[in-house]
Amino acid sequence: MKLTTILDQRCVCVPMNAGDKESAITELVDLLESSGQLADRDHVLKAIIQREKTASTGIGHGLAVPHGKSNGCKKLVMAMGKPATPMDFDSKDGNPVEIIVLLASPPDQTGPHIQALARISRLMLMDEFRTAMARARTSDELWQVIQNHE
């Protein structure tokens, strides 16, 4: 799976305005909404926040992948952001988050949802990819990092 097939360039934000976990999730959902990719913004936001409350999606290596399933979207969608300063996301490794990748999909698209999560996780295991992500200072630069590593 190529992430650029599900990530609209308009849904990449560097730097993010959010200063905490819930506002970061809201900011990324709002990007999806403003790009016309959601049928029901509030339903998607609620699903992702509820999922986050069950267990943190801060998976380590400075990455969080908040995600959820909702009828508020018609297909798998993705937004990505880099907070202005690393933020606490209750990550498993205890470190702050520097990259947030948000995924939302309809309840009946489990396969693509899991494939996207796996692809993101595999990329973040690569030192070269993490370094390039850390160096990105604009939305265009972050988008380019994704394109270059696909």
The model's pLDDT over 22-61, given as tens digits with 9 standing for 90+, comes to: 999 999 999 999 999 999 999 999 999 999 999 889 988 8
| 10: its two tokens | 């308009």
Residue type, position 88, single letter: D
Asked, as a colleague might, if the bond just before 15 is cis with ω within 30 of 0, I would say yes
User: What residue ranges do the domains of the chain occupy?
Assistant: 3-148
State whether CATH 3.60.15.10 applies to domain 3-148: no
Q: Which residues contact 36 (CB under 8 A, 6 or more apart)?
A: none
In this predicted structure, the answer to whether residue 1 has a pLDDT above a threshold of 80 is no
pLDDT in tens, 83-120: 999 999 999 899 999 999 999 999 998 888 889 888 88
Strands (E), 1-150: 7-16, 58-60, 63-64, 67-69, 77-83, 99-105
Residue 65 dihedral angles phi and psi, to the nearest 5°: -130, 70
